[in-house]
């Protein structure tokens, strides 16, 4: 029995010792594996950090280049550009002063005539209804002299025509109508004074522009012949300079044409008022028994 217990005790101690040794060996193996895993993880982390740093560096470089390009583009966009009279001045110089100066003279003289006509016509526009009413009141009172003085002191062609009609009131209805028609033609000529010059400048400005264009094209082809080769930049510059004269000539004609049409419409309005005032004066003279 004691032998059996001793044997069991020995066997237990051998088993425990073996398990302990195996456990230690296992723990040692796990530790080594953990250490190796940590080392591998550290290396992987280092590689990842280096790759991330390189990626960030590349991204920063690309972003810097993009920002630089955007800044340069914004600087170019913000750069001052020529507008208004500066741009017109530059084009005027590029087009050649020989023909550009002639077109500019046409524009200045045409605008001078237009402004003079507009001022004159505005001053000539009078309230014909009020004028005829005042003449009617004077004739109702039997005062022909006052009626004539009212027409004489009132500015405008309509008042002048009425004054001529009152001056011929003793010649009868036919004499009054004839006097007003004749003097109306004179006033019509005065109203249209200067329109022929405006029409001339409207016609001649684009002609000068076309002439400058033709001469510029001839000069461009002369340069091509001298160079012996068709250079796109040379041809483009020559054509651009040649066409500038045409553009300025057309702009001048358009501006003067607008003023011309306004002046003509103003004259038509004044003539209609003159005719209406003449007809009203005949009725007033008939109503007040001035004409038999």
C-beta separation of 282 from 162 below 8 A: no
Find the largest Cα–Cα distance for the chain.
182
Instruction: Report which of 188, 197, 245, 200 is spatially closest to residue 219, judged by C-alpha positions.
Output: 245
pLDDT at 214: 82
Contacts of 202 (CB under 8 A, 6+ apart): 110, 253, 256, 257, 260
DSSP code of 170? G
Report whether 184 contacts 160 (CB < 8 A). no
pLDDT at 92: 61
pLDDT in tens, 201-256: 999 999 988 888 888 788 777 777 777 766 666 677 667 777 888 888 899 999 99
| Ordered alpha helix ranges (H), the chain | 2-78, 85-94, 97-124, 128-140, 144-153, 157-167, 172-191, 195-227, 232-287
pTM score of the predicted model = 0.65
Per-block mean pLDDT, blocks of 10 residues, the chain (292 long):
44 44 43 50 51 48 49 43 60 68 90 94 84 88 87 87 86 85 88 92 91 80 74 70 84 95 93 88 82 63
């Amino acid at each position: 029995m004691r032998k059996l217990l001793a044997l069991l005790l020995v066997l237990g101690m051998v088993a425990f010792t073996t398990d302990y040794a195996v456990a230690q060996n296992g723990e040692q193996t796990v530790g080594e594996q953990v250490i190796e895993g940590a080392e591998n993880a550290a290396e992987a982390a280092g590689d990842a950090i280096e790759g991330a740093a390189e990626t960030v560096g590349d991204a920063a470089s690309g972003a810097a280049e993009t920002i630089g390009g955007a800044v340069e583009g914004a600087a170019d966009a913000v750069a001052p550009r020529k507008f208004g009279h500066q741009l017109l001045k530059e084009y005027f110089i590029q087009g050649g002063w020989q023909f550009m100066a002639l077109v500019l003279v046409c524009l200045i003289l045409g605008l001078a005539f237009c402004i003079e006509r507009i001022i004159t016509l505005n001053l000539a526009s009078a309230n014909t209804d009020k004028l005829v009413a005042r003449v009617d009141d004077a004739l109702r009172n039997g005062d022909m002299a006052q009626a004539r003085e009212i027409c004489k002191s009132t500015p405008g062609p309509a008042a002048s025509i009425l004054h001529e009609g009152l001056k011929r009131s003793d010649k009868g209805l036919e004499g009054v109508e004839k006097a007003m028609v004749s003097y109306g033609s004179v006033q019509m000529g005065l109203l249209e004074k200067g329109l022929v010059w405006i029409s001339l400048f409207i016609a001649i400005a684009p002609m000068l522009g076309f002439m400058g264009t033709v001469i510029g094209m001839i000069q461009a082809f002369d340069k091509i012949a001298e160079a012996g080769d068709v250079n796109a930049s040379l041809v483009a510059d020559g054509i651009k300079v040649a066409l500038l004269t045409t553009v300025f000539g057309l702009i001048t004609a358009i501006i003067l044409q607008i003023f011309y049409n306004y002046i003509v419409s103003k004259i038509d309005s004044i003539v209609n008022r003159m005719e209406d005032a003449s007809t009203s004066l005949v009725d007033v003279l008939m109503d007040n028994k001035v004409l038999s």
